[in-house]
Amino acid sequence: MNNKKVFFLSSVALSVMTSSFNLFAQADNTLSVTANRFQQPTSSILAPVTIVDREQIDRWQSNSVLDVLRRMPGIDVAQSGGIGQMSSVFVRGTDSRHVLILIDGVRTNQAGISGSYDMSQLPLSLVQRIEYIRGPRSAVYGSDAIGGVINFITKRPNDGLTLNAGIGSHGYQNYNGSIQQKVGERTTLSAAGGYTYTKGIHATDDSVPVAAPFHDRHGFMSKSYWFGIDHIFNDNFQGYMKGYGYDNRTTYVASYPGNTDQSKTYNRNYEAGIKFSGDSYFSQLITVYSQTKDYNYISTNGRDGKGSSVDNSKQYNVQWGTPF
């Protein structure tokens, strides 16, 4: 078995004046944290900005992160099959490596492995909001952001319990839930989990005379979790800790008849941060640890058998930021 480890740091409508004013006032109040790494109204951002919240995602009845991205302007998605199969995202004709993918403001592109992030593996149940900045943001994020920046935000903003379930064709099942509860006046606890499964589809039509493995169903299973704690120390200082992860299993075309190839992805992320807010000054310090293991193997040989491989990536990230 080849074992490779990588470590790195890193509608226009005419209305009365009052209605028009309220409409634009609401747009001006929409905030983004992605364009320049600090919270600001979208009206003050020069680049085009698209923001999709959880309510809109549910209204679209999307089954995956890629389903949401396909609805966004300037984005092309290429995928080699159904849910969970390998994907690439292109913004405004640039290479997939030139689209910076962030999760809660922290980059996920793994340059030591492929140079781009496979978003088919990110569970949609973890995503609460998506901020998409079109156009180059290299001055802020570096050369990875030539095409644009997509930031997936996982924090749960609503109190109470939420449960969702769905079923569909090809054995599709989806279950997820979240809960958020305040403890006293200064502390908030949050947790969420999700499960997705599908038998998958055939790579080709059954009437096409091709080799046996191409008629196998290419299924997908994903289990995800999210937890967090937020605490307000005083009027100026607040801190938080959170973690999230997912375990995915994907089946795809085998290299020879009689077998199927499989991949398993284990992802873990832990983050802590502290923020200071004054009358005219804001600053925050964030530390992040993340690890991803990708196993690729032949089903009959097992994860640790002959012909298998594993990519093990660990990322340590420290960010300090303050706007001037």
Residues 6 or more apart whose CB falls under 8 angstroms from that of 153 comprise 33, 104, 127, 128, 129, 130, 131
pTM: 0.74
Q: Residue 89 above 50 pLDDT?
A: yes
pLDDT band at 207 (very low <50, low <70, confident <90, very high): low
DSSP state of 119: G
How much is the pLDDT for 309? 85
Token pair recorded at residue 203:
């790579």
Q: Is 145 exposed, middle or buried (0-12, 13-18, 19+ CB in 10 A)?
A: buried
**What span, in angstroms and rounded, lies between the C-alpha atoms of 60 and 52?**
11
Domain of residue 292 covers 2-321
- What per-residue confidence (pLDDT) applies to 11? 33
Banded model confidence at residue 24, pLDDT cuts 50, 70, 90: very low
pLDDT higher at 86 or 171: 171
Average pLDDT over residues 96-119: 73
Handedness of CA 57, 109, 246, 34 (dihedral sign): negative
SS3 state at 179: strand
Q: Which of 200, 247, 197, 196 is nearest to 219 (CA)?
A: 200
Q: What percent of the chain has pLDDT over 90?
A: 25
Question: Which residues share a beta bridge with 273?
Answer: 240, 286
Q: How far apart are CA 243 and CA 144, in angstroms?
A: 25
CB 130 within 8 A of CB 151: yes
Where residue 78 sits, what CATH number does that domain have?
2.170.130.10
Residue 93 pLDDT exceeds 90: no
State whether residue 132 is helix, strand or coil. strand
Confidence at 302, pLDDT banded by 50, 70, 90: confident
Residue 19 binned pLDDT confidence (cut-offs 50, 70, 90): very low
Q: How many domains does the chain have?
A: 1
Cβ count near 299 (within 10 Å)? 15
Q: What is the DSSP letter of 58?
A: H
pLDDT of residue 111 exceeding 70:
no
Average pLDDT rounded to a whole number, residues 226-247: 94
